[in-house]
Chain A
Amino acid sequence: MTAQTVQRGDLVTVIGLEVHVQLETETKIFCGCPTAQTDEPNTNVCPVCLGLPGALPVLNETAVEAAVKIGKAIDASIPEETRFHRKNYYYPDLPKNFQITQYDEPICQDGELEIAVEGERRTITIERAHLEEDPGSLQHVGGGGGIDTAEYTLVNYNRAGVPLMEIVTAPDFRTAAEARAFLAELEEVLEYLGVFDAGRDGSLRVDANLSIVDGEEVDDEGRIGTEALEAANRTEVKNISSHKGAEKALAYEETRQRNAIQRGRVVEQETRHWDESRGITVSMRSKEAEKDYRYFREADLPPLRVSHWKDEIPIPELPTARRERFREEYALGEEAASKLTSTKQVADFYEDVAREFDPDLAATWVADELLGELNYRDLEITDVAGRLDAVHRLIELVDGDEITAKNAREVVLRGMLDDGDDPDEIVEREGLGKTGADEVEQAVLEAIEENPEAVADHEAGEAGAINFLVGQVMAKTGGSADPGDVNGLLREELE
């Protein structure tokens, strides 16, 4: 909603996000246990991530590098010195009874990310982003499996200590759709940086704050004063695990609060749990206030001084910039440019083929044919990373006019994806190769030489004679020549 559209008496929705993303590292943030997902519980554990007495954490350098890359991508400042803190609370997902996190000295401060919603661009402020450890995972067993009704709890610490980045936005969103667009953009950026795998189960988790304020509090630039924000009761919605989930949960919560206000009720300041299967948010038992976490410095981890890494660690061109460049450099439309930059792998592959072949043809083949067929099979480009050379070859065959686009799409590409065959193999086996011009010409000359009667009939003006000769040429080329072309060639020769 822009400032101009806000009327006196309107209610304005205010949303802020806390996004937890798992960083792609081989090992956990404070110990050498693998982060790989496994079905066997409590196998990737050691004294550090089990919180056994005397075990000491040692920071994973790759996790810090990932944090610096994220900071660079969101144009945040990396302070001269940053450090870790203990957040104390008692819950069985934390074996130490505290979580190592960063409190008042986070590694990234004051960043931003631009999003586009329905063609309108907005810059979302990112207040901070910090490193922390993931807690373990709990299963609530028996009594229907609900958190409240379960008979007992099973605890698995394989996830405990997986590196997380918590990214906290300013309350800059006015609609659930904007929040969703932000999550999509953020995910793209993180994937481009190579620090995040969206396909990993539970790799993205979102908490959202939502409140409703009076439209009068919105200034000309669409900002809302701190006082008005603090005066409005907000709810924190937890347990959101996807973009779509975020949009649904926030749309639900927005309606619930607006209805309450319109009926003259007060919105409780509380924590609510998003129940994905029921599509509603439900009130949770009140959690600790911030001071109850008794944050204090983690004395087992010395401070970090890595602000200079920002200059030393390169990051790739980011999706928005690449999209713009694709539009200019390859003269692509907005939709094609957007599809072709949706992941770094797609964009890299597109550039690989666009440099060699016609960029338009390459765009059709990557954005429409390849992504379309992959999507149909519920596959991502990363699932066929080892097959991209074969797709490259297929585009080469089409670009060189060696097979028809129809055959390439309907027979070769599908065969490649379904059976894992090579394009040349399929072309050979199915006899799809367009016969070369020389070969057709040769066949035309032979047909003329071998059929003097038909030639004579043609010269005598008999209309059917040429068709007989075309048929002879088609037979010689196994049906792969174009009958129209053959007809033309014959007429040229016979003149």
Chain B
Amino acid sequence: MTERTTAVDAEEVRHVASLARVDLADDEVGRFAEQFEDILTYFERLDEVPEVDHDADLTNVMRPDEPRECLETDAALENAADTEDGFFKGPNVS
């Protein structure tokens, strides 16, 4: 098992948050840095799991180009926080 040498720093947390379009308050950054650190440590434990054979080789799984029934628009929009005239409605994005 390899030891993690670099700790997760605040800048990294802010970068990941910005990629996910999440605003973090300053006091949250430290808390998430610790949690990221924990998560990465858990993942490192996977290195201890012995390698196993791959699943049977599955290749070329395809379907014919034939239409299937779609969802009704109402059903498609059912979970949306906001809608307008059949569209999903969200805040301005740029």
A interface, CB within 8 angstroms of B: 25-27, 31-34, 40-47, 50, 58-64, 81, 88-92, 138-140, 143, 147-148, 150-157, 285, 288, 292, 301-306
Contacts and interface: CB of A to CB of B under 8 A. Distances in A.
B19 A288 contact: yes
Contact of B86 (A42, A148, A304): A42
Interface string B82-94: 0011111111111
A25 B59 CA distance: 22
Interface in B64-91: 64-71, 73, 76-77, 84-91
A229 to B, nearest CB: 28
B15 to A, nearest CB: 8
A62 B61 CA distance: 13
A43 B62 CA distance: 24
B67 A32 contact: yes
Interface of B: 19-21, 58-71, 73, 76-77, 84-94
A325 B91 CA distance: 57
A31 B62 CA distance: 10
Contact of A152 (B58, B77, B90): B90
Contacts of A26: 65-67
Contacts of A138: 93
Nearest to B72: A43
Given A40-B86, A302-B59, A305-B59, A61 B64 contact: yes
A interface majority secondary structure: loop
B60 to A, nearest CB: 6
Contact of A58 (B62, B86, B88, B92): B62
Contacts of A154: 84-85, 87-89
Given A40-B86, A46-B70, A305-B60, 18 more contacts: A26-B66, A31-B68, A32-B67, A34-B67, A40-B73, A41-B85, A41-B86, A41-B87, A50-B76, A61-B62, A90-B19, A90-B20, A90-B21, A92-B90, A143-B92, A153-B90, A155-B87, A156-B86
B93 A285 contact: no
B17 to A, nearest CB: 11
A44 B69 CA distance: 9
Contacts of B73: 40-43, 45
A305 B58 CA distance: 10
A156 B90 CA distance: 11
A278 to B, nearest CB: 18
Nearest to B73: A42
Nearest to A285: B94
B78 to A, nearest CB: 10
A288 B19 CA distance: 8
A41 B59 CA distance: 35
A31 B64 CA distance: 10
B87 A156 contact: yes
A47 B71 CA distance: 8
B77 A32 contact: no
B62 A59 contact: yes
23 contacts: A26-B66, A32-B68, A34-B70, A41-B85, A41-B86, A42-B76, A43-B73, A43-B86, A46-B68, A46-B69, A58-B63, A60-B63, A61-B62, A61-B65, A62-B65, A152-B92, A153-B89, A153-B90, A154-B87, A156-B86, A301-B61, A303-B59, A305-B60
Instruction: Name the residue in A45, A150, A157, A285 with the highest tally of chain B Cβ atoms < 10 Å from its Cβ.
Output: A45
B60 A42 contact: no
Contacts of A292: 19
Given A40-B73, A40-B86, A153-B92, A27 B60 contact: no
Contacts of B88: 42, 92, 154-157
Contacts of B66: 26-27, 32
B68 A27 contact: yes
A62 B70 CA distance: 19
Nearest first, the 3 closest Cβ-Cβ pairs linking A and B are A32-B68, A62-B65, A154-B87
Instruction: Name the residue in A64, A143, A302 with the highest tally of chain B Cβ atoms < 10 Å from its Cβ.
Output: A302
A62 B62 CA distance: 9
Nearest to B77: A42
A304 B77 CA distance: 34
A89 B93 contact: no
Contacts of A47: 71
Given A50-B76, A89-B19, A43 B93 contact: no
A153 B60 contact: no
Nearest to A301: B61
A139 B62 contact: no
Contacts of A151: 92
A139 B87 contact: yes
B93 A153 contact: yes
Contacts of B19: 88-90, 288, 292
Nearest to A47: B71
